[in-house]
Amino acid sequence: MFERLFSPIKINNCEIENRLAVTAMVAGMCNPDGTASDQYIAYHEAKAKGGWGLIITEDYAVNEHAMNIPGTAGLWDDAQIASHKKLTDTIHKYNSKIFCQIWHAGKQATHWTNNGVQPMAPSAIPCPVNRELPRELSIPEIEQIVKDFGQTARRVKEAGFDGIEIHAGHGYLIAEFLSPYINKRTDKYGGNFVNRVRFLKEIMEEIRRNVGDDYPVTVRYSAIEEAAGGRTMEESRPLAMLLEQWGADALHISASVYGNHINGIISSMYTPRAWLVNYAEEVKKLVNIPVFTVNRIADPFVAESILAAGKADIIGMGRESLAEPEFPNKAKRGDVENIRKCVGCMQECYGGLLRGRFISCLVNPTVGRELDVDLSPVSNPKKVMVIGGGIAGMEAARAAATRGHEVVLYEKQEFLGGQFKAAAYPPCKGDFSVYTGWLIKQLEDLKVEIHLNTEVTENLVKEISPDKVILASGGTSLTPPIKGIDNPNVVTAEEILLGKVQPADQILVAGGGEVGLETAAHLATEERDVTVVEMKHEFGEELIAPLLRNKIFEIMDEYRAVRIADTKILEFMEDGALVENAEKGQYKIPAQQIVLALGYKPVNNLEESLRSICDDLVVIGGAVKTSNAAVASCEGFFAGMNA
């Protein structure tokens, strides 16, 4: 079915079984000294088991001051080799190859991950994300870092990796030297193109001196930096040609730098799928070595078509390898319907790192918890009753049924998915329905007995007489005591999104959090007159990245939806809402319809009565505390697994 995807390819002397590569992703799982932990090895092993031809590790620090995020790997010391050898030995039990990405974070390093040492860069220009002022590197320091890359490369080889990826992208140290927007030096490492590429050239020469000519050395860089004054294809084309001349064995074409508000390195659902492919194609025309493409590719048909069109030689997938570690195995056997798809939400991968945790995945809660997962068949199957068919309930049912329990699931609405169903309706969020659809298919395949339109009562539970009850009744819209909230023209965001009520032409959305903004964008694209009113100063505070907020704003602005912050709603009326703010005092915003997006509250009226009749009851997800879909999927999965 996917002939090209499953054809082998050689990088230098390394034969790779198929064209599917896991791209580098910091997982936050290494020990504080940069050595590999058991969890880190288990995380990678899941991918090797899944059939990926090549796994590229996260960025390994080349010296003890090169890191930006705690828990990142390093090979700056011979003492670190042994633990990483354990990783490569594990991966080599399967048919995968593993390359090590090596890097220095440059201005994107942080003093708090590097023993208080100030970040270093070609020029003293702060990183917009960590906001630290780096100091300019001296020439002897540059020469030392070149040597550090060489020594790290030697250790990479000794640790049993099959090759190296030099990280020259994403605004890290090498990218900083390459790029005129950060490199303001006037010595031999700055200024014109030939000076700016010198650092990378020296690094490549030093690496070759240490690993020899027959060891794969590849380079990853951002074709376009999406930063004011950053590199464009103009210089990325000659860079590709030079890299080939200097002995690169493959090129990995990524994009962007951290802190940009356009598409970003880790693009969200607001960026089109496979959007970097044409840049890879341009590079491919200029070189005779394999070219990787990456970014928002999560479908084997798309991947195969990229290869068929000759746009790239290897398909890199970062987040899709989190969503579906088994992607290659499933694609190879034509089991495409069961491939889980990354939805581009960034909540638990990028979001996990931002919160100082291991990375995980909303649609695959086992990521980062591989050592805790046990889906082996149970010896004493139980009758498990799941109440609620949202994400938490469905994940619980799936995990319990996978282990061999007999599972019945009850949902009071006429559909499965709970609040996550509505989440797929706003612009660019259609893929959210892929996860809901995937879960439904798993439950069908696992023969979970599903009852829709059924409100569970104490009597029903007595009648079913389950051994275990998992209460996942979710949440419902908050309706604070605002005058007029019961008026007939007041509806909920969910009712609007799911098409249960006819939207009016002139709408006021009450609440400018994620749901309010997305609902407003949805209504605005239907050419309605929309105003969002938010009590706080910031809109969409809970959104994990400013980039997401900006993308929703872009849609709203294009369709002329209005945002009003710092404003309290005093009363809902037939023809609008009375509001108040410091600037204008009290005034009326005209609207024919009010859409509530003021948050959620748990629905949990069964717990108390069930406690007296169920010996084994757990309450999970939004029924306990209003949170997000990632918490729901994780709590659901583990409640089901431990049923």
Ligand X SMILES: Cc1cc2nc3c(=O)[nH]c(=O)nc-3n(C[C@H](O)[C@H](O)[C@H](O)COP(=O)(O)O)c2cc1C
Q: Which residues contact 81 (CB under 8 A, 6 or more apart)?
A: 75, 155, 158, 159
Task: Tell me the residue type at 529.
Answer: D
* 98 belongs to the binding site for ligand X (CB under 6 A): no
Binding-site member from 211, 317, 407, 610 for ligand X (CB under 6 A):
317
CA distances from 216 to 13, 105, 213, 642 (A): 7, 22, 8, 44
CA 16/CA 249 separation, integer angstroms: 13
Give the shortest CB-577-to-ligand X separation in angstroms.
40
Nearer Cβ to ligand X (271/436): 271
245-274 residues in contact with ligand X (CB under 6 A) are 254, 265-266
Binding-site member from 353, 422, 521, 610 for ligand X (CB under 6 A):
353
Nearer Cβ to ligand X (35/254): 254
Residues 48-77 vs ligand X: string with x where CB under 6 A? ----------xx------------------
Residues across the chain: 643
Radius of gyration of the chain (CA): 26
Nearer Cβ to ligand X (349/456): 349
What is the sign, positive or negative, of the torsion defined by CA atoms of 144, 148, 154, 155? positive
**Residue 40 is among the residues annotated as catalytic for this protein:** no
* CA distance between the termini of the chain: 38
Q: Which residues contact 477 (CB under 8 A, 6 or more apart)?
A: 492, 493, 494, 596, 598, 599, 600, 601
* 220 belongs to the binding site for ligand X (CB under 6 A): yes
Nearer Cβ to ligand X (403/429): 429
Name the segment binding ligand X (CB under 6 A); options: 235-243, 292-300, 499-507, 556-564: 292-300
Name the segment binding ligand X (CB under 6 A); options: 133-141, 294-302, 474-482, 575-583: 294-302
Contact (CB, 8 A) for 206 and 154: no
Give the shortest CB-586-to-ligand X separation in angstroms.
46
Residue with tokens 């893929």: 431
Name the segment binding ligand X (CB under 6 A); options: 154-162, 348-356, 385-393, 590-598: 348-356
Binding-site member from 2, 76, 161, 350 for ligand X (CB under 6 A):
350
Give the shortest CB-32-to-ligand X separation in angstroms.
17
Residue with tokens 């991950």: 113
* 26 belongs to the binding site for ligand X (CB under 6 A): yes
Name the segment binding ligand X (CB under 6 A); options: 19-27, 228-236, 382-390, 442-450: 19-27
Nearer Cβ to ligand X (297/517): 297
Backbone dihedral region of 247: left (phi > 0), alpha (psi from -120 to 50 degrees) or beta? left
Task: Using alpha carbons, select from 172, 12, 192, 202 the residue that is nearest to residue 106.
Answer: 172
Contact (CB, 8 A) for 474 and 410: no
Task: Using alpha carbons, select from 80, 74, 42 the residue that is nearest to residue 59.
Answer: 74
Using CB under 6 A, count the residues that bind ligand X.
Answer: 25
Tokens of 16: 């790779």
CB-based burial label for 481 (10 Å; 0-12, 13-18, 19+): exposed
Nearer Cβ to ligand X (17/348): 348
Q: Are strands 475-477 and 600-602 parallel, antiparallel or unpaired?
A: antiparallel
Residues 149-178 vs ligand X: string with x where CB under 6 A? ------------------x--x--------
* 392 belongs to the binding site for ligand X (CB under 6 A): no
Binding-site member from 11, 16, 25, 239 for ligand X (CB under 6 A):
25
* 349 belongs to the binding site for ligand X (CB under 6 A): yes
Tokens of 214: 């027959």
Residues 446-485 vs ligand X: string with x where CB under 6 A? ----------------------------------------
* 559 belongs to the binding site for ligand X (CB under 6 A): no
Helix H or strand E encompassing 254: strand 250-254
Chain position whose Cβ is nearest to ligand X? 318
Backbone phi and psi for residue 155, each to the nearest 5 degrees, phi listed first: -65, -35
Nearer Cβ to ligand X (260/531): 260
At residue 179, the 3 state secondary structure works out as: coil
Give the shortest CB-541-to-ligand X separation in angstroms.
22
Binding-site member from 18, 23, 110, 218 for ligand X (CB under 6 A):
23
Give the shortest CB-420-to-ligand X separation in angstroms.
21
Nearer Cβ to ligand X (24/552): 24
CA 367/CA 150 separation, integer angstroms: 33
Catalytic residue among 172, 425, 435, 559: 172
Give the shortest CB-269-to-ligand X separation in angstroms.
10
Binding-site member from 283, 294, 448, 606 for ligand X (CB under 6 A):
294
Task: Tell me the residue type at 334.
Answer: G
* 295 belongs to the binding site for ligand X (CB under 6 A): yes
Residue with tokens 């319990």: 400
Give the shortest CB-74-to-ligand X separation in angstroms.
12
**DSSP class of 417:** B
501-530 residues in contact with ligand X (CB under 6 A) are none
Q: Spell out where 343-412 has E strands.
A: 383-387, 406-410
* 319 belongs to the binding site for ligand X (CB under 6 A): yes
Helices 514-525/546-558 angle, 10° precision? 30
Residue with tokens 């354990």: 86
* 24 belongs to the binding site for ligand X (CB under 6 A): yes
Binding-site member from 202, 244, 320, 534 for ligand X (CB under 6 A):
320
How many other β-carbons are positioned within 10 Å of the β-carbon of residue 74? 23
* 104 belongs to the binding site for ligand X (CB under 6 A): no
* 222 belongs to the binding site for ligand X (CB under 6 A): no
Contact (CB, 8 A) for 555 and 427: yes
Name the segment binding ligand X (CB under 6 A); options: 21-29, 32-40, 409-417, 559-567: 21-29
Task: Using alpha carbons, select from 294, 348, 268, 325 the residue that is nearest to residue 549.
Answer: 268
CA 617/CA 634 separation, integer angstroms: 17
Any idea which residues carry the catalytic annotation? 172
Applying CB under 6 A, the residues found at the interface with ligand X are: 23-26, 58-59, 101, 167, 170, 220, 254, 265-266, 294-297, 317-320, 349-350, 353, 359
